Amino acid sequence: MEALEHQLVLFLERLFQGMGWGGVVAIMALESANIPIPSEVTMPLAGWMLVQARGGTLLRAVLEGGFYGGLGCTLGSLLSYALGYYGGRPFLFRYGRYLLIHPRDLEAADRWFARWGMWATFISRLLPIVRTFISFPAGVARVSIFPFTLLTFTGSFLWCAGLAAGGYIFGQHWEELRRLMRPFDIPIALALLAGFAYYLYRHIRHAREGYEALRPALQEADPPGEE
């Protein structure tokens, strides 16, 4: 994992040298479009390379890091949202049974997003891993686009500004910030894994219960042959 991040750092360094903040917008857009590029690497590196190493101020790291990072996140999130809005729902209705997704699951997601969607949109932008993937299900649930966009940018601005400021403060040792944040990935990943395991268990159990309920009727329709 660390070797992959090292290669990513080398790529980002070349990108930022060539494109500056435009490179930050591009990478953060990819990160928010379901491509797991860790912003905990991108933004601290930007805070160091594009501000601190060029003699900029901490305020500039906060404002520029927050704005350009948040802009990229919002663009990528809108793309992921659109995929979920226009393509995700028809796809899941047609092929969801192969993924253990029932129409009632979509109805439950609609109810959940109707109740918590705006808070989920904002808070997810402040969480590793989750922030990368929340936009697609929000699109599938057809969360209102204007508050989705506003809260996505607001939460992303805070996240990116904080990481850029950390990169500025740590300077050339900015990777230390990623090392300090890496342990927080573990409980979030475990929680997501536990949720997925429970989802599978619940669907397999319901399928088994449905089969057991139908077994008498199936036996009557196809009685065993007499010996």
Residue 151: per-residue pLDDT: 92
Asked which of 44-48, 120-124, 197-201 is least confident by mean pLDDT, the reply is: 197-201
Range from 52-61, 135-144, 200-209 that averages highest in pLDDT: 52-61
Asked whether residue 138 carries a pLDDT value surpassing 60, the answer given is: yes
State which H helix or E strand residue 115 sits in: helix 103-124
More confident residue, 62 or 227: 62
The predicted pLDDT at position 145 comes to: 92
Supply the pLDDT for residue 200: 53
Tell me, what's the pLDDT at 41?
87
When mean pLDDT is compared over 76-85, 104-113, 118-127, 184-193, the highest value belongs to: 76-85
Rounded Cα distance, 85 and 90, in Å: 9
pLDDT for position 178: 66
| Residue 161's pLDDT band (cuts 50, 70, 90) | very high
Provide the pLDDT for residue 183: 61
33-37, 68-72, 118-122: range with highest mean pLDDT: 68-72
Q: Is the pLDDT of residue 51 over 80?
A: yes
Q: Which one-letter DSSP state was computed for residue 127? A: S
- Sign of the dihedral through C-alpha 84, 85, 91, 92: positive
pLDDT exceeding 70 applies to what percent of the chain? Answer: 67
Q: How confident is the model over 210-218, as a mean pLDDT?
A: 45
Instruction: Look at residue 210 in the predicted model and tell me its pLDDT.
Output: 45
d(CA 149, CA 54): 32
DSSP letters for 129-149 = THHHHSHHHHHHTT--HHHHH
Instruction: For helices 39-49 and 145-170, give the axis angle rounded to 10 degrees.
Output: 60
Tokens found for residue 217: 């009727």
Percentage of the chain beyond pLDDT 90 is 35
Alpha-helix runs per DSSP H in the chain? 2-19, 21-31, 39-49, 58-82, 89-95, 103-124, 130-133, 135-140, 145-170, 175-181, 185-221
Residue 22's closest CA among 57, 80, 72? 72
